[in-house]
Structure 1
Amino acid sequence: MTVRRVLCLLPLLLVAVVAAQHRSVLADGFRHLATAQWPWLLAAAGATCLTWVAAACTRQGAVVERLPGVRLLATQFAAGAANHLLPTGLGASAVNLRFMTVCGLPLARSSAALALYLLAESVARVALLGVLLLVFPDALRLGALLPEGVLGSVLVIGAVVLVVAAGVLGLVRRVRSAVVSFLRTALGEARSVHARPARAVALWGGSLAFPALQATGLVLVGRALGLQVPAAHVAVAYLAATVAVALVPTPGGIGSVEAALVVALVAAGGPAAVATAVVLAYRIVTVWLPMLPGALTLGALVRLKVI
């Protein structure tokens, strides 16, 4: 069996392992789906599908060259599955990096485009959360998302990491040269992209649409299960929870996202039992149902040498 065939089968094996590890969550989630109002669930599934379109727009906006549209969209679907099987961000980043290099972009520029995408998506998510909090200041208590003392620990760890990174850059010439070269390439790529209005619109429009569609999906699942919380407050809860769990490198946020979302929805005014049901159903619709076809797509893309 060739290495490529092994790589085709590996995503399916990982899906089976992850599903076995979370079988109780899956069982609870499907049980809640059985009691939901299906029109709202179908709308949530539609919003989930649109997130892959938004991701494709953002990926295209991060590079000057035109990427093949159908393959780009398929790659985003496959990257979603990969992202739930590896520590947060690594799966999707690896798939997209490989896709861009296969499309002919040099590794340095592909890495710069990947960094630009991650920066734009992070800035857009935090900006959207900030705007909603300004408009709806009473949507939830942000302090409820983090246990007491965690914020201080995170700040201390962050400060230590920055000091160590600065020390390495200052003392190790090779590392400093590599970082400077990467930053130069990344800034050049960012200038080239923003010099083209169509690319800039795709980059920032997709970056804003992606978290907005994710939040919309949670709102729709909440409606399906009778969650009596205003839609704007649910959106704030979702964005705040996902920003909070970005610091926790679990595969696809599995486990940490569920916990943070339940806490956020309760902080937004939802009953704990209903909030738990909504989160489990939401993760079934957005993570578990697309995971198997996404893994199959990933294997097919590997076999066809698209990635």
Structure 2
Amino acid sequence: MSLFPLDDLPRAPAALVRSPVTARLARRALTLFPLVLLAGWAVVDWHAVRDGTARLASADPRWLPALVLLTCLGWVNAAWVRQGAVPERLPAGPLLASQFAAGAANHVLPASIGAHAVTLRFLQTHGIPLARATASLALYSLVKPIAKTLVLLVFPVFFPGVLMLSQLVPGHRTLILITAVAATGASTVCVLVTVVRPLQRPVFGFVRTALTDARILHTRPSRVLALWGGAAVSPVLQATTIAAVGGSLGLQLSWAQVVFAFLAASTAAGAVPAPGGIGPVDAALVFALVGYGTPLDLATATVIGYRVLTVWLPLLPGMLVLTALVHRKVL
């Protein structure tokens, strides 16, 4: 007979985990976390928020309806692409709200971690298993750069006379850096899967799940259109918003020039993980606009104005929506 019966051992930790009070406190903490994250982000980037808002306030107000419409269409398109990556039919309203909240989370965490976390939780709460939800995110992440690259390659065919490829194509060092980052990531994954045997089964299982869902999706024309069409429209829609912001500030470039400048800049800087692409993409876009002959201050004002419109102004409402979705257990 044991001197220390198992029944006599304290079970407080398990009881604490299952306690309704603990669960309620944990949910309140998760509810407040987005607002705390927003406050910290605003303190760090306060000067950019203030200066960018002042620049946007000086824009031509006649462009305001178009700017608001384009910004809203961006969220609708994001929800459309997410639906295209899942065979099941998702509720349109909650899906759109989740993508509005995911956009806010995406701008405070690097490499789309925030948006993916929100979407992953949304898919799970709507009955999609973790493996298939993760496969959906992987498919979405794979399709987006492929679609953008295809648009980038096809665009000069339709607008050959207005594009200055020699000034916008990344330099040799940038191309080498992008290639090195991609090769390092792929090599690391291959080595880990090969050396760490416990990883092989879940990784291969994930790959099988992803391939199965991808095959099913590509037998449905509506899903193919949503996934690939939405992914191709997304960068063009973003660039059109930038062109509208530039037009309101007096930018003299054509729509095609701004679109191609954004495609080239975002492709070149996309290998650098930054919150929502802020930083590397902004710098590359300013450089691309200047390459077309735009004054540096106007190019900078255009990019900052775009960030104010699409990131900073929707950030607080987006975090409030995220908080509400967590509180209502939609996430």
Greater mean alpha carbon deviation, residues 200-209 or residues 100-109 = 200-209
Q: Deviations over 1:35-76 (max 9, x none)?
A: 211122331221111111111111111111111110000000
Distance 1:62 1:161, change over 3 A: closer
Q: Deviations over 1:87-132 (max 9, x none)?
A: 1211000000000000000111111111111222222111111111
Query: Shift in Å at residue 282 of structure 1?
Result: 0.8
The 8 Å contact of residues 286 and 299 in structure 2, kept in 1 or not, is answered as yes
Are 1:42 and 2:87 an aligned pair?
A: no
Q: In structure 2, what is the equivalent of residue 121 of structure 1?
A: 144
Are 1:135 and 2:154 an aligned pair?
A: no
The 8 Å contact of residues 8 and 303 in structure 1, kept in 2 or not, is answered as yes
Secondary structure of the equivalent of 2:213? helix
Greater mean alpha carbon deviation, residues 71-80 or residues 49-58 = 49-58
Cα distance in 2, alignment partners of residues 179 and 120 from structure 1: 20
* Residue of structure 1 aligned with 2:303, choices 275, 279, 298: 279
* Residue of structure 2 aligned with 1:25, choices 40, 43, 48: 48
- Aligned counterparts, 1:82-231, within 5 A: 82-137=105-160, 139-141=163-165, 149-231=173-255
Cα distance in 2, alignment partners of residues 43 and 142 from structure 1: 32
Secondary structure of the equivalent of 1:19? helix
The 8 Å contact of residues 110 and 276 in structure 2, kept in 1 or not, is answered as yes
Query: Shift in Å at residue 160 of structure 1?
Result: 3.6
Cα distance in 2, alignment partners of residues 163 and 124 from structure 1: 24
* Structure showing greater relative contact order (alpha-carbon pairs closer than 8 Å, 6 or more residues apart): 1
The 8 Å contact of residues 234 and 268 in structure 1, kept in 2 or not, is answered as no
Identity %, equivalent residues: 48
The 8 Å contact of residues 181 and 271 in structure 2, kept in 1 or not, is answered as no
Query: Shift in Å at residue 162 of structure 1?
Result: 3.1
Q: Deviations over 1:185-244 (max 9, x none)?
A: 011001111112222222222212222211110011111011011110101111122222
Distance 1:150 1:203, change over 3 A: closer
Any stretches of 5+ residues in structure 1 without a counterpart? none
Using the size of structure 1 for normalisation, the TM-score is: 0.94
- Aligned counterparts, 1:54-69, within 5 A: 54-69=77-92
Distance 1:158 1:204, change over 3 A: closer
- State the structure with more CA Rg: 2
Greater mean alpha carbon deviation, residues 47-56 or residues 144-153 = 144-153
Cα distance in 2, alignment partners of residues 229 and 113 from structure 1: 38
Distance 1:166 1:88, change over 3 A: closer
The 8 Å contact of residues 58 and 207 in structure 1, kept in 2 or not, is answered as yes
How many residues are matched?
Answer: 307
Query: Shift in Å at residue 143 of structure 1?
Result: 6.1
Cα distance in 1, alignment partners of residues 95 and 166 from structure 2: 36
